[in-house]
Amino acid sequence: MATDQPELAVSAELVKLPVDSKSQKRSKSPSAYRKSCDLCHTPNDVLVRCQIDETCSWHFVCTKKCWKDVSGGMVDGDSNHPYYRYGGMWKNKHAGVSAKKPKPKK
């Protein structure tokens, strides 16, 4: 009861096997896991998650210039930045970086 079904005769070259995503990720360097700042678009290992405008949508901003611009340099914002709201830190766990604030020097 054999039937010839040409649609089942698929060439081995055309069959896409699933890629082992874990082994593919392991081969990447830590810089491959960086996220870009939503404002300046530079890839970073540490970003601040925050709301910055009247849309109340969450953004990832870099801890350098962009965060100071949207928050006024204050953790909880200031009166000049009424829409700023802190929402946590994102860090690249593959890079071995810290998202902690440096302790003030005595």
Domain boundaries defined on the chain: 34-95
Burial of 94 (0-12, 13-18, 19+ CB in 10 A): middle
Q: How many CB atoms lie within 10 A of CB 69?
A: 14
pTM score: 0.66
Residue 91 to residue 44: CA distance in whole angstroms? 9
Model confidence at 20, pLDDT cuts 50, 70, 90, reads low
Model confidence at 28, pLDDT cuts 50, 70, 90, reads confident
pLDDT score of 49? 96
Q: What is the mean pLDDT of the chain?
A: 81
* C-alpha closest to that of 60 among 95, 100, 91: 91
**Is residue 55 over pLDDT 60?**
yes
Residue 54 to residue 13: CA distance in whole angstroms? 52
pLDDT score of 30? 87
